[in-house]
Amino acid sequence: MSDTRDTAEIGLIGLGTMGANLALNIAETGHRIAVWNRTQARTETFVDEAGDLAPNLVPTASLAEFVSAIARPRRIILMVPAGEAVDDQIDALRPLLDAGDVIVDAGNSDWQDTRRRTAAAGEILYLGLGVSGGAEGARNGPSMMAGGSDRAWAALEPVLTLIAARFEGDPCVARLGPDGAGHYVKMVHNGIEYADMQMIAEIYGLMRDGMGRGAAEVGAAFARWNEGPLASYLVEITAAVARTTDPETSRPMLDVIADRAGQKGTGRWTVIDAQTRAAPLPAVEAAVTARVLSGEAAARAEGAEIFGAAGTLDLSDADLEGALLAAKILAYSQGFSLLAAASAEEGWDLPLPRIAEIWRAGCIIRSALLDEMATALTEVPGQRLAFAPAFADRLRSHLPALRRTVAAAVAAGLPVPALASALGYLDTLRQPRGTANLIQAQRDYFGAHGFERVDRPGQTGLHGPWTDA
Ligand SMILES: NC(=O)C1=CN([C@@H]2O[C@H](COP(=O)(O)OP(=O)(O)OC[C@H]3O[C@@H](n4cnc5c(N)ncnc54)[C@H](OP(=O)(O)O)[C@@H]3O)[C@@H](O)[C@H]2O)C=CC1
Ligand SMILES: O=C(CO)[C@H](O)[C@H](O)COP(=O)(O)O
């Protein structure tokens, strides 16, 4: 390739689904961007197909050429799979970089890896950047959650602001805290995404299996709901996929796709992290479990043989819409509660209203509700979103629909684990005297674990006068 020294303002490594689109997005802002990909043929195809944007791309054939093509201080975005690939890429880059250069990890890295890499970066600056929006978002405007030092952020803020999605002119990007804070928020975003997708899938299952509706009818219902308070990217794409026909068989696409969902890890990480902080997200747990059980096709077939088929449902569209809305609010509320817990524990001071704001456009969980959530989180900082007056009102209106839907599904034997868990979460939070007194009695009975009495608050380690069972 020709001499490219210092000809680019920024660089990007990893021209896969996200990296290629992000590079084109940056090129479109007028920035010249150097690109390098492990498999060189991909770089060549990428530039060949870049059309009018090709003059702003600086293809490079080696890592050394890539680094020398970028003006100093260098800004280098990594868009490669999380884990070993990121460490390997940093190790390969490090000897080629100078103090003050910035590495940006824009993949879905584990936030603790980002914390470790930030600490090890020395004179190289490090920014952990959660990017949401899939291929379309990366190309036309993602939502981005940054974690790192002020210096690292200052180096990237101008270009990230230019490429970000905008909600009424407000760019959907922010520095949310130091080191792993950005990747942490992206992880929780993905946890909410899992719950949102699972709840939508459960509503689809009720329509398909309990109400005998075909994919086109399902698509029409989601399209209608997307005009109301449920308006969101995930509801919109659900309507689109349900209405798509397989060109090979002329059957609905949904009917030809195997019912086995994959996962890369962020949902599972969210659940594990939440449990370690005693800030559980049952709706996300249910969604992760459902993805795992979706892989148990043989067991599900055997279960159907042993226990028989599910029954039918008598529910209105209004019930299904209200159920999805209430459960969705509860899932987002659980996510924000986890962010609040992590913020306090890690000393991050996460700006929860700003997080809701930068999720209003560009990201996979964007939803009409997020603008209202940003306001609610500003008005009642630290409060559970579900208890904020605007959302408590919405929940009071739609909980009867969620109850009718869950009750009917349970009675018919149709699985609604995420919808039911959202309801169980709220019902637990509205039970002034819970049932953990019995748990404590049992623990004391079998293991002398002790309990506290209601009439002697603060005095712990008391034991019961248990007799043999
Ligand atoms: N797809 C999505 O919707 C989203 C993905 N992400 C995250 O973005 C990151 C990239 O994802 P995506 O673009 O989908 O992935 P792809 O699989 O499409 O692309 C991966 C890219 O990384 C390169 N790569 C893979 N392994 C290595 C390695 N060991 N060393 C150097 N380069 C490597 C590949 O190069 P090669 O051509 O040689 O294989 C390719 O360019 C991931 O962390 C993902 O979780 C974040 C948000 C959304
Ligand atoms: O980050 C994303 C969206 O926000 C990625 O698409 C991610 O891969 C989704 O997670 P999973 O693959 O586990 O479904």
Per-residue pLDDT reduced to its tens digit, 427-469: 999 999 999 999 999 999 999 999 999 999 999 999 999 987 6
Which residue puts its alpha carbon closest to atom 22 of ligand 1?
80
298/423 Cα distance (integer angstroms): 30
Examine the fold and report which residue of 179, 194, 213 is the final residue of a domain before the chain moves on.
179
Pairing of strands 125-132, 143-148: antiparallel
**3 state SS of 410:** helix
Q: Please tell me the predicted confidence (pLDDT) of residue 285.
A: 98
95/123 Cα distance (integer angstroms): 12
What is the torsional sign of CA 237, 366, 266, 171?
Answer: positive
Q: What ipTM was estimated for this complex?
A: 0.99
Q: Are 244 and 206 in contact (CB under 8 A)?
A: no
Q: Please tell me the predicted confidence (pLDDT) of residue 2.
A: 56
- Is 4 a domain residue? no
- Is 382 a domain residue? yes
Q: Please tell me the predicted confidence (pLDDT) of residue 5.
A: 78
Examine the fold and report which residue of 156, 179, 202 is the final residue of a domain before the chain moves on.
179
409-424 pLDDT, tens digit each: 999 999 999 999 999 9
Query: Is residue 39 located within the same domain as residue 163?
Result: yes
Query: Is residue 24 located within the same domain as residue 106?
Result: yes
Neighbours of 294 (CB within 10 A): 17
Q: Which protein residues touch ligand 1 with a CB less than 6 Å away?
A: 14-19, 37-39, 42, 79-82, 85, 88-89, 107-108, 131-132, 134, 264
Q: Which residues form the domain of 450?
A: 440-469
Binding-site annotation: residue ranges for substrate: 108, 132-134, 189-190, 194, 264, 291, 443, 449
Q: Is residue 263 within 6 Å of ligand 2 at its C-beta?
A: yes
Query: Is residue 247 located within the same domain as residue 385?
Result: yes
**3 state SS of 53:** helix
- Is 319 a domain residue? yes
Mutate to test the pocket of ligand 2, among 21, 136, 193 (most ligand atoms within 8 A of CB): 193
Q: Is residue 7 within 6 Å of ligand 2 at its C-beta?
A: no
403/246 Cα distance (integer angstroms): 36
259/319 Cα distance (integer angstroms): 25
Examine the fold and report which residue of 151, 179, 207 is the final residue of a domain before the chain moves on.
179
**Predicted confidence band of residue 141 (pLDDT cuts 50, 70, 90):** very high
The structure tokens listed for 444 are: 């004391």
- Is 348 a domain residue? yes
- Is 265 a domain residue? yes
> Phi and psi dihedrals of 351, rounded to 5?
-80, 90
Q: Please tell me the predicted confidence (pLDDT) of residue 467.
A: 85
- Is 411 a domain residue? yes
Of 338, 367, 341, 339, nearest to 355 (Cα)?
A: 339
- What is the Å distance from ligand 1's center to 82 Cα? 8
For 258, which DSSP code?
-
Q: In the beta sheet, which residues pair with residue 173?
A: 144
pLDDT surpassing 80 at residue 381: no
- What is the Å distance from ligand 1's center to 108 Cα? 10
CA-only gyration radius of the chain, Å? 25
- Is 263 a domain residue? yes
175-217 pLDDT, tens digit each: 999 999 999 999 999 999 999 999 999 999 999 999 999 999 9
- The CA-based diameter of the chain, rounded to the nearest angstrom, is 87
Q: Are 74 and 102 in contact (CB under 8 A)?
A: yes
Q: Which residue has the tokens 């509801």?
A: 235
Q: Are 155 and 125 in contact (CB under 8 A)?
A: yes
Report the C-alpha dihedral over residues 428, 432, 435, 439, rounded to 10 degrees: 100
- Is 5 a domain residue? no
Helix (H) / strand (E) containing 324: helix 317-346
Number of the ligand 2 atom closest to the C-alpha atom of 266: 13
Query: Is residue 158 located within the same domain as residue 198?
Result: no
Is residue 328 flagged as an active site residue?
no
340/358 Cα distance (integer angstroms): 17
Mutate to test the pocket of ligand 2, among 198, 266, 270 (most ligand atoms within 8 A of CB): 266
Q: Which residue has the tokens 């950047």?
A: 129
- What is the Å distance from ligand 2's center to 347 Cα? 27
Q: Determine the straight-line distance between the first and last CA of the chain, rounded to whole angstroms.
A: 82
Of 45, 94, 35, nearest to 70 (Cα)?
A: 35
Query: Is residue 244 located within the same domain as residue 311?
Result: yes
Query: Is residue 237 located within the same domain as residue 289?
Result: yes
Q: Which residue has the tokens 């509320």?
A: 333
* Burial degree of 332 (CB within 10 A; 0-12, 13-18, 19+): buried
Query: Is residue 191 located within the same domain as residue 89?
Result: no
Q: What is the pTM of this model?
A: 0.97
61/173 Cα distance (integer angstroms): 31
CATH code assigned at 37:
3.40.50.720
191/185 Cα distance (integer angstroms): 10
Helix (H) / strand (E) containing 232: none
Whole-number average pLDDT of the chain: 97
Among 9, 193, 202, 285, the active-site one is 193
Helix residue ranges per DSSP H, 105-232:
111-120, 134-140, 150-163, 181-205, 215-225
401/326 Cα distance (integer angstroms): 8
- What's the domain count of the chain? 3
pLDDT surpassing 70 at residue 238: yes
81 preceded by a cis bond (ω within 30 of 0): no
Q: Please tell me the predicted confidence (pLDDT) of residue 468.
A: 77
- What is the Å distance from ligand 2's center to 101 Cα? 29
Query: Is residue 422 located within the same domain as residue 389?
Result: yes
Q: Please tell me the predicted confidence (pLDDT) of residue 60.
A: 97
Q: Which residue has the tokens 């093509």?
A: 69
The sheet carrying 75-78 orders its strands as: 57-59, 33-36, 10-13, 75-78, 102-105, 125-132, 143-148, 173-177
pLDDT surpassing 70 at residue 79: yes
The full DSSP string for 110-126 is -HHHHHHHHHH-TTSEE
87/93 Cα distance (integer angstroms): 10
19-60 pLDDT, tens digit each: 999 999 999 999 999 999 999 999 999 999 999 999 999 999
Query: Is residue 132 located within the same domain as residue 244?
Result: no
Is residue 321 flagged as an active site residue?
no
Query: Is residue 145 located within the same domain as residue 225?
Result: no
Of 350, 26, 69, nearest to 164 (Cα)?
A: 26
CATH code assigned at 365:
1.10.1040.10
Mutate to test the pocket of ligand 1, among 47, 80, 139 (most ligand atoms within 8 A of CB): 80
Query: Is residue 147 located within the same domain as residue 46?
Result: yes
Binding-site annotation: residue ranges for NADP(+): 14-19, 37-39, 80-82, 108
pLDDT surpassing 90 at residue 264: yes
Query: Is residue 200 located within the same domain as residue 234?
Result: yes
CATH code assigned at 468:
1.20.5
382-438 pLDDT, tens digit each: 789 999 999 999 999 999 999 999 999 999 999 999 999 999 999 999 999 999 999
Which residue puts its alpha carbon closest to atom 28 of ligand 1?
85
Q: Are 355 and 176 in contact (CB under 8 A)?
A: yes
